[in-house]
Amino acid sequence: YQRRVHGDPNPSRSMIGSIIFLNSRGDIVLSRAFRDNVNIRSLGEAFRTQVIATKLADRTPVKTLGSVSFLHMRHENLFIVATSRANVNAALVFAFLSSMLKIFKAYFGVVNEESVKENFVLIQELIDEIIDFGFPQNTEVDVLKLYITSSGLKTELLNKPKDTAEISMKLTGKINWRPAGIKYRKNEVFIDVVEDVNLLMSQQGTILHRDVSGKVVMKSFLSGMPECKFGLNDKAMLEKERHTSKRYAEIDLEDVTFHQCVRLGKFDSDRTISFIPPDGEFILMKYRTQDNVNPPFRIMSPTVRELGKTRFEIDFKIKAEFSSRLFGTNVIVKVPMPKSTANTKITIPTGKAKYEAEQGSIVWRIRRFPGGSEFRFAAEVALIASTSHSSQQWARPPISLAFQVPMLAASGLHVRFLKVHEPKLSYQAVKWVRYISKAGQYECRI
């Protein structure tokens, strides 16, 4: 699982009593009990009558009936339900159910009522491995596929002592996410810092809300079992190091979550991000920040002028607030229009713009937007004359933006260093870092 910086100190709260798969009618398709005091039939009936029949399934993912808590999620035409009589950690249960779904998809693709029935025996074998006595265990697909195939258990592997020892090490060892013996001719690491920028701006240009939700995606092609150490310009990390250099601005990271390979004890003690990476691509960490977010684009002076009952003008300027050495790509500006729009006359200096009735907006597309540049949008809009006196006034929804800006981190996050050390092979790894800022919910009121 991806783990928060501070985990749950009480493991008994992760106890699951049973897992039940029900179809949309409430019939049990597959079930597994992990405790002696579990009556699957009565639990399934209670969930069908008290949750599915009363339409509660669409309103709340957790329902307590008597002494039993039902934690459920819907997928295709199935309800996947975990039950517990303990004060269970709900976040862990839902993370486990999501991981279980990913495992099933990796084995037989689509997960629905028909595929569950067709793969009944395989699913029971997988459940045997991923949960034990109600406690989640190994959910790594790569490890599971070493000895469980889509046709069932690989019994020929288990007859070989060497392979059995290797599987046991991966299941019970500290590093079950990375097999031993990986070799590459060229050792490389690719790091992508991907940030979604959320912004709400008033008509006067005042920023009402802004934040960044980011993730660090790592793609490793490294031989052996390398030890990696990763450094950012996180404020707490720099303070811990007593860093005196002012090369990087300090930023406050919030809601930090890590991949399971990161040593959380080390991070808690000295804010060091150290880990042995999985092979290939994975999300090393996720974070959020609200301080010192620099919006890549700014919409200035949006103005609507009425020219009569059936005509109005709208104009504004959009400016790229980043360096002239960078550029935005695939910039899409959606300018909302009333439902009664008949035709539009649009004036723009670059890109293409047209009224798209299905989106209820004028959509302005700019393939390349140089940093520091400023473009003006103007449109004259004709409306269909309304014969009804009760027609609602146009609510003026906000202008929205979509964009990507390569090599820009809107939060100011920077990768300060990545150290790779493999004690047995002693190679020099080639490291690549890329930054991408994208629009999340990016809006300006008019």
Confidence of residue 8 (pLDDT cuts 50, 70, 90): very low
pLDDT surpasses 50 at 157: no
pLDDT surpasses 70 at 370: yes
CA pair distance 4, 59, nearest whole angstrom:
27
* Closest listed residue to residue 215, CA positions, set 7, 405, 411, 406: 411
Q: Is 262 helix (H, G, I), strand (E, B) or coil?
A: strand
Render pLDDT for 194-231 as a digit per residue (tens, 0 to 9).
999 999 999 998 999 999 999 999 999 999 999 999 98
pLDDT at position 54 is 85
pLDDT at position 242 is 61
DSSP assignment letter at 135 = E
List the beta strands (DSSP E) in 206-360: 207-221, 227-232, 254-258, 273-275, 280-289, 297-306, 311-320, 327-336, 341-347, 352-356
Task: Show Cβ contacts of residue 386 under 8 Å, excluding neighbours closer than 6 positions.
Answer: 340
CA pair distance 212, 195, nearest whole angstrom:
6
CA pair distance 349, 390, nearest whole angstrom:
39
Question: Model pTM greater than 0.75?
Answer: no
What amino acid is encoded at 372 in this protein? G
Rounded alpha-carbon distances, angstroms, from residue 247 to 140, 241, 296, 326, 416: 40, 14, 22, 20, 10
Which tokens hold the place of 403? 């964009």
CA pair distance 273, 264, nearest whole angstrom:
8
Which tokens hold the place of 419? 């150290």
Confidence of residue 73 (pLDDT cuts 50, 70, 90): very high
Over the Cα atoms of the chain, what is R_g? 27
List the beta strands (DSSP E) in 163-235: 188-201, 207-221, 227-232
Q: Are 278 and 271 in contact (CB under 8 A)?
A: no
The average confidence (pLDDT) of the chain is 87
Q: Which of 100-109, 237-246, 338-347 has the lowest mean pLDDT?
A: 237-246
pLDDT surpasses 60 at 116: yes
Which tokens hold the place of 307? 């020219």
Mean pLDDT (whole number) for 269-293: 90
Q: Are 220 and 278 in contact (CB under 8 A)?
A: yes
